[in-house]
Amino acid sequence: MKLSIVTTLYNSSDYIEGFYDRITNTALKITGDYEIIFVNDGSKDDSLEKAVSLFQKDDRIKVIDLSRNFGHHRAIMTGLSHARGDYVFLIDSDLEEEPELLEEF
């Protein structure tokens, strides 16, 4: 089973590492065959740099950097167009929804 996890970044620097840790731990309970797609939607903070740093350590991560802020819906659609999973889980990286919801999905 291939699982794609798609999330957007917009000035999300404070949340990225915690999101990554929690979503990775949860995904590994389900399958080792997953990818995490971070779509940077024109962040003005260091969200992109943090996502790239994770990408450099984990080959299951994809990072897409949009040229400017296009809005949440377009960023999600961009992530969906790059997803290769049989199943796709959409979640924001700001931790308002718990990454552990993936298990219920």
Does residue 21 sit within a domain? yes
Closest CA to 52 of 3, 88, 16: 16
Does residue 105 sit within a domain? no
The structural domain count of the chain equals: 1
**DSSP secondary structure, 14-36, as one string:** TTHHHHHHHHHHHHHHH-S-EEE
pLDDT band at 105 (very low <50, low <70, confident <90, very high): confident
Looking at the predicted structure, is the pLDDT value of residue 79 above 90? yes
pTM above 0.85, yes or no: yes
Q: What is the DSSP letter of 41?
A: -
| Residues spanned by the domain of 50 | 3-95
Does residue 11 sit within a domain? yes
Backbone dihedral region of 64: left (phi > 0), alpha (psi from -120 to 50 degrees) or beta? beta
Q: What is the pLDDT of residues 6-26, one digit of tens each?
A: 999 999 999 999 999 999 999
Q: What is the CATH number of the domain that holds 72?
A: 3.90.550.10
**For residues 1 and 13, what is the distance between their CA atoms, to the nearest angstrom?**
30
